Amino acid sequence: MAGIVLAAGTSERMGKTKQLLPAGGGTLLDRVLNETLKSDLDRVVLVLGHQAGEIRLALGQTLQHPKLKVVENKQYRQGISSSIIAGLLEIEEAYDHVMILLGDIPHVDSELINHLRHRYLDSRLPIGAVKIGIKRSHPVIFSRELYGKLHRLKGDVGGRALLNKYSSRTCLVEPEKPYDDRDIDTPEDYLEFLKEWE
């Protein structure tokens, strides 16, 4: 199973590049990427777009990690679907399952990633997702069976449409410990995160 970390967006609602915002000794993106690399995923593809050069510089030594491949999505302004496809092109020949992670959900950790991976593989279903209460959440997993449908996504649309369409064939996995799945979209979100983090 490979992972794709999506971090190509323009952060319009934040007003500055949220991938570079300080968080716990690194950046928001550092937190997500380091936990993903620590997990049992076999390969990790980081998809960059907006300010890709600056983000590469900020990641520093992390870029040398043997599991990591960085790709730049030149079509990132076409929405999240273009980044999913850019990542998928890197892994689809060699990996039968892909986990999609968002670079702006800072509380995701390697334990949650491994728990979702394990439960999904045991289920033998083509889709896996985290479940919080009655809500489906990230990360999500798709099997090779659905790669073609991921390639047909358009615009600012992620995998939600596929989760809706194939809800009866989705393995929903509850986290083993409390999990805050909020993403950081606005300055208010970020200030709230920093307060909780401190």
For 156, the token pair is 């600012």
Using CA of residue 45, residue 50, residue 53, residue 56, what is the dihedral sign? negative
Banded model confidence at residue 195, pLDDT cuts 50, 70, 90: confident
For 6, the token pair is 């999506």
Range of the domain at 144: 2-197
The domain total for the chain is: 1
**H helices of 100-175, where?**
110-123, 147-151, 160-165
The whole-model pTM stands at 0.94
Which CATH number covers residue 72?
3.90.550.10
Alpha carbon separation from 179 to 12, 121, 176 (Å, rounded) = 26, 21, 8
pLDDT in tens, 67-84: 999 999 999 999 899 999
pLDDT in tens, 142-185: 999 999 999 998 877 778 889 889 999 999 999 999 999 989 99
